[in-house]
Amino acid sequence: MTLMRTIALATLWMAVLIASSYGQSPTSSPNRLYAVVFEFVIDESGELKSFRVEKVVDPNSGSTEAVDVRVPDSFVSAARAQVMAKGYKGTLEHGTPKEMYTYFFFDPKQPDRADIQPQKRK
């Protein structure tokens, strides 16, 4: 297993732990939140070279196994904008930009938002 895959799995476990210990606010919909893991590459000049969905998981399941949830293009675009806004710096490995991983919570009732943060249960 490559170092980047190990980092991706660790990131995914963090998403599972965070989301399973948090709930949605009482005024929000009762839908589930999903964690969408993205793999992306930013070159040394800061340009986003690739951006794709790695997998979708249900944090409430306690597993990092992928679930069959369709992620709409509007969510992918919103997540891409979030990544670019964070200003990640490209990293080279043997002269080639390295893959990086991140995740965003996805609410199917809000398909164009990648800025959702679960609220702590009371």
Q: Domain residue spans in the chain? A: 3-117
Q: Is 120 exposed, middle or buried (0-12, 13-18, 19+ CB in 10 A)?
A: exposed
At a CB cut-off of 8 Å and minimum separation 6, what does 120 contact? 21, 22, 23
pTM over 0.85: no
pLDDT digits (tens, 9 = 90+) for 7-41: 555 555 555 545 544 444 434 445 789 999 999 99
Instruction: Dump pLDDT digits (tens) for 75-98.
Output: 999 999 999 999 888 888 888 899
